[in-house]
Structure 1
């Protein structure tokens, strides 16, 4: 009786944008450190699409060489150029897959609420949800989903602004919020960014009275990362199993084809032997 061993899980490649900001690098690293604590048996590797190295394609290559399977989890809050080009290109090979980005997710809204509470959000304050932005329409739709969820949680209107790629830009959204501000209220930016860095610095200069901290570090982010990983890993296992089954079926067809060709080749040979035997028999009867 043979025993079946459970295959090792795919390598988790956590891929972020990359930043020159030291605090931002520590914040991103904290997310993957929390993932390692949650699942110490998992091979977790870090990769980037810009600014920092190693590049995501190189990390996937190394992961596949070591473990045959890899799942890239974008440490990004929505789809966009990097998920559709850099990450998609890195996993365009057998054994690799890309997970969905971290947002939208209710747990991210939980973190946003906590950040605003920590920033001292008051009842008369106006809130602007500030995202990095992308020209990809699905990215704006994802941010709008988070904006609507945050508005429900806060029980007030929430505006949205983007750092790049979409409108309105954050300074314009802040100015519009200030124009409608209640007496004694402030304009508060809810930073919908994963970590400190270039875009967060721009939020600090956007004209708001208060800017909340980015989402990381926060232990809830690790749970989101692992959920995205699990969903993609399950799909990857299905792809591998389907590929294996297809390869086995193809091998069976080749073996069947070889057997049929061998049988067809034997037919004239057997017929020839039979004819020869018949002639020999006739010769013996004639001699007799």
Structure 2
């Protein structure tokens, strides 16, 4: 019996580099799952949109949101589309997850070293600001705070979440409260929100989870594991009424 298809749904971006990085991630996932039909869809900006992409897939399908938290897109856009089919499931989004903390720590390590000033060593244990896109959906807030806590545990230093839209503190306010703090970019790829963050943080900003190179292995692993969890739900659905 064929394995369920995988529909990887990202937000979508008009940034050419960001779109290419996400497409490469999906290709690497497909290479890890050679017996699975892997498709792409989007909730905004790019085509096909998620309902169109889902309708084009025959048979059982696992929808994996390439999104970093719960929110409107996962709950309404993807959840609504999947509920119309008895053989489709939507997995958890990618975050929060310790593997994302691993990639965020990698990006911080790759960032240019601070200038050789007298206070550079004093800031080594200081706070890191986590730049989050932000959402009005209340489900997104605990996800962002959990991701900050996981990164803080990995770095053994405080991590302060800051938001690029919809919530407070803003990235500008967080940097005013913590001058000189490095900014870990909690975004999947280059695009609108990265540009917003860069205008505020400048050189303090790290690359997003996906840069212009190979997708980090922990991120590929995470998408594959989300698919496998969804496929298990299709293979062994809960009794009706649960």
Calculate the TM-score normalised by the size of structure 2: 0.88
- Give per-residue Cα distances to partners, 1:228-266, cap 9 Å, x unaligned: 111111112223x968xxxxxxxxxxxxxxxxxxxxxxx
The offset of 1:84, in angstroms, is 1.0
The offset of 1:208, in angstroms, is 4.9
Aligned position for 2:13: 19
Q: Of the candidates 69, 82, 101, which is equivalent to residue 78 of structure 1?
A: 69
Task: Provide the rounded CA distance (Å) in 2 between the counterparts of 1:87 and 1:107.
Answer: 23
Aligned position for 1:260: none
| Structure 2 portions without partners, runs of 5+ | 115-120
* Preserved contact between residue 132 and residue 186 of structure 2 (Cα < 8 Å): yes
User: Aligned ranges for residues 1-288 of structure 1 at < 5 Å?
Assistant: 7-64=1-58, 68-92=59-83, 93-120=85-112, 123=121, 124=123, 126-178=127-179, 186-216=180-210, 217-239=215-237
Task: Provide the rounded CA distance (Å) in 2 between the counterparts of 1:210 and 1:71.
Answer: 38
Task: Provide the rounded CA distance (Å) in 2 between the counterparts of 1:157 and 1:100.
Answer: 26
Given the superposition, is the C-alpha separation of residues 55 and 177 from structure 1 closer, same or farther in structure 2, using an over 3 Å criterion? same
Task: Provide the rounded CA distance (Å) in 2 between the counterparts of 1:215 and 1:207.
Answer: 17
* Preserved contact between residue 102 and residue 218 of structure 2 (Cα < 8 Å): no
* Preserved contact between residue 183 and residue 201 of structure 2 (Cα < 8 Å): no
Give 3-state SS (helix, strand or coil) of 1:135's partner.
coil
Task: Provide the rounded CA distance (Å) in 1 between the counterparts of 2:14 and 2:136.
Answer: 24
The offset of 1:105, in angstroms, is 0.7
Give 3-state SS (helix, strand or coil) of 2:6's partner.
strand
Aligned position for 1:264: none
> Greater share of helix residues, 1 or 2?
1
Given the superposition, is the C-alpha separation of residues 103 and 121 from structure 1 closer, same or farther in structure 2, using an over 3 Å criterion? farther
**How many residue pairs end up in the alignment?**
226
Task: Provide the rounded CA distance (Å) in 2 between the counterparts of 1:94 and 1:148.
Answer: 36
Task: Provide the rounded CA distance (Å) in 2 between the counterparts of 1:237 and 1:157.
Answer: 42
Larger radius of gyration: 1
The offset of 1:222, in angstroms, is 1.4
Q: CA RMSD in A?
A: 1.7
Task: Provide the rounded CA distance (Å) in 2 between the counterparts of 1:121 and 1:214.
Answer: 17
Given the superposition, is the C-alpha separation of residues 97 and 36 from structure 1 closer, same or farther in structure 2, using an over 3 Å criterion? same
Calculate the TM-score normalised by the size of structure 1: 0.75
Give 3-state SS (helix, strand or coil) of 1:63's partner.
coil
The offset of 1:33, in angstroms, is 1.0
The offset of 1:219, in angstroms, is 2.5
* Preserved contact between residue 28 and residue 195 of structure 1 (Cα < 8 Å): yes
Give 3-state SS (helix, strand or coil) of 2:57's partner.
helix
| Structure 1 portions without partners, runs of 5+ | 1-6, 179-185, 244-288
